[in-house]
Chain A
Amino acid sequence: MIKGNVYPSGSHVLADVRQIWGRALADLGHADGRVIALNADLSRATFTDLFKAELPERFFNVGIAEQNMVGISAGLALKGKIPYAVTYTPFAAMRAGEQFRTDCCYQDLPVRLVGVAAGLSPAGATHSGIEDAGIIRTMPNAVVVSPSEPKMVEKILKASLECPHPMYIRLGFGRGEQIIYSDDYDFVLGKAIEARPGTDATIISFGTILSDALKASEIMAEEGISVQVIDMPTLKPIDSDAILQAALQTGQILTMEDHNIYGGLGSAVAEILAESGVCCKFHRLGIPDQFAHFGSLPFLHEYYGYDAAAAVKALRAMLS
């Protein structure tokens, strides 16, 4: 497991993951001529307009046609390119899901499908990405990764240049996520990061919900409970060693994700634990299996019970 250096509590800086992603993608394009950016009429919303301005000959807007975007990406990969096709999460994983599965994963092509604004959305259920990671996790050859804080996008994009397989990159909502780590850690696809050591319980989190996991661990620390926080940016291939080590060491595992409770991190961790023979307490926090109401993100996370307060409540119950 990689050790992450978390900035001290209270010093968190907010950043927009989409803005950092847009800059990082353009930088990647400058660094490597194989990089192509594609989008489906969302270049401003996905910040790929930076790439368009700087590298217009390798930028393609296919219009509102996600299936076509992913099929074209597969064709470009067959010509030696590394395409980054970006759109909102549900349209990436579901509208173009079969193209990603059949054109990209079946042929094991280095297409990067990028879903932005993952998780519940103030725009409602049509724009919420609650099933995406679970769906794509079942596609052979696919790598599924989600940065847990805005700056990690840069490390993921750098790693994506070397990955020969199709990747699904799941970006958080992008309206002011916390920068959590100082830059001096190595990011490795498939490896968990220990964001905070602890001995009494473990939170494993997927994506930008990490900030809530850390907050919950701080609240528990004030009560004298030491909660380890494991950041699991790569959902597939998952770092099963890190999960089992935590189960053996703390015996209490809580998972947190901005994704349907079915199919995502909680399910993946449960699969590992159930087959391991390691006995531990286990609880999952995520979006309940329902289509959500409209509302702001803090409201939605609280209402559906997977924010820091919900994690504290779950930990207290597990440890009682």
Chain B
Amino acid sequence: MAETALIAALKDSALLLRKQLLRTSLTGHVHLGGDLSSADLMTVLYQHTLNVDPQKPDWDARDRVILSKGHGSAALYLAMANAGFFSPEEVISTYGKDKTKFGTHPCRRDCPALDVSSGSLGHGLPMAVGIALGAKLNNDSHRVFCILGDGELGEGSNWEAMVAAHQFHLGNLIAIVDRNMLSLDGKTEEIMGLDPLDAKWSAFGWNVLCVDGNNVSELVRALDTLPLSDSSTPTVLIAKTVKGKGVDFMENVPRYHSGSVTKQEYERACVQLDEARAAEREADA
């Protein structure tokens, strides 16, 4: 696909994902702020970057995805659904409901298409290190993608894993930080500052890429130029995002970290998202 067409298709898909997330939160308890911040990233991963096959979710050579910020499960399920893994309508109608496959945190037992169960923060990166190490031992060439929230970097286990990934030369490991600057209680830099985050990862021996995580073109460019999986240095993509991205009354508002939306909020948000995308299309034309 020509690049402009590809970017346009990905933006349309990210718009669809945002509207699906809002629809899901009409009846379910969704971590909407972080899901909206990661919507572009999740779309680019599942529509463009990942080497996965929705018809064969247990294909051994697939890239592995660990959503360490497991509270972002709705964005994960819907991005996977839009890539053909599930029916989007099934996700939207059953998310978080009794005995659902699509729980509020990812669970492999209930949803075997997932690579890892997650939810407790600070667990994803060590497991990703283990998977990447296992892949190297098996001479498998797939990559391992681990998506982290920025607030979750407060957990020391991440930093243990960062040291180990460098020590074990895991060039097949890609960490992506959804750097939306907010955690449950407020601003990450006021609660327990992380900056300079790029310098910290770099000091731990990682390749560091910093991008606008709500810019589809930048995400595509960064993810298209990752080091080869048999290289020896792990890579982190620090994706600077806006929590609640795309809906002005949700952007950077901690109250929308999680919860449901009213019909009025849903309709208002969808109008805004559609108008913004229409304006973008016009500008691109």
Binding site for A on B (CB under 8 A): 64, 107-109, 115-117, 119-120, 122-123, 125-135, 137-138, 140, 156-157, 160-161, 163-164, 168
Contacts and interface: CB of A to CB of B under 8 A. Distances in A.
Given A62-B164, A78-B115, A107-B117, A71 B135 contact: no
Among B109, B116, B128, B160, chain A packs the most CB atoms within 10 A around the CB of B160
Contacts of A75: 126-134
A67 B131 contact: no
Interface stretch (A97-105, A216-224, A236-244): A97-105
Contact of A72 (B64, B120, B126): B126
A-B pairs with lowest CB-CB distance, top 9: A75-B130, A71-B126, A79-B134, A68-B160, A72-B130, A65-B160, A75-B131, A75-B127, A76-B130
A103 B132 CA distance: 16
B126 A78 contact: no
Among A60, A78, A98, A99, chain B packs the most CB atoms within 10 A around the CB of A78
Given A63-B160, A78-B131, A106-B109, 17 more contacts: A62-B160, A63-B163, A65-B160, A68-B160, A68-B164, A70-B126, A71-B129, A72-B133, A73-B130, A74-B126, A76-B133, A78-B116, A78-B134, A79-B133, A98-B123, A99-B157, A108-B109
A67 B119 CA distance: 16
B160 A67 contact: yes
20 contacts: A57-B137, A58-B137, A67-B122, A67-B157, A68-B160, A74-B127, A74-B130, A75-B126, A75-B130, A75-B134, A76-B133, A78-B116, A78-B130, A78-B134, A79-B130, A79-B133, A79-B135, A79-B137, A99-B123, A103-B127
A80 interface: yes
A81 to B, nearest CB: 6
A99 B117 CA distance: 12
Nearest to B157: A67
B123 A102 contact: yes
A81 B130 CA distance: 10
A74 to B, nearest CB: 5
Contacts of B123: 71, 98-99, 102-103
B58 to A, nearest CB: 11
A56 to B, nearest CB: 12
Contacts of B107: 106
Contacts of A78: 64, 115-116, 127, 130-131, 134
Interface residues of A, number: 29
B27 to A, nearest CB: 27
Interface of B is mostly: helix
Among B130, B140, B156, B161, chain A packs the most CB atoms within 10 A around the CB of B130
Interface in A79-98: 79-81, 83, 98
Given A63-B163, A68-B164, A99 B126 contact: yes
A72 B164 contact: yes
A75 to B, nearest CB: 2
A67 B133 contact: no
B65 to A, nearest CB: 12
Given A63-B163, A67-B160, A71-B161, A79 B131 contact: yes
A70 B122 CA distance: 12
Contacts of B120: 98, 102
Contacts of B133: 60, 72, 75-76, 79
Contacts of B128: 75
A32 B250 CA distance: 54
A76 B135 CA distance: 8
B204 to A, nearest CB: 13
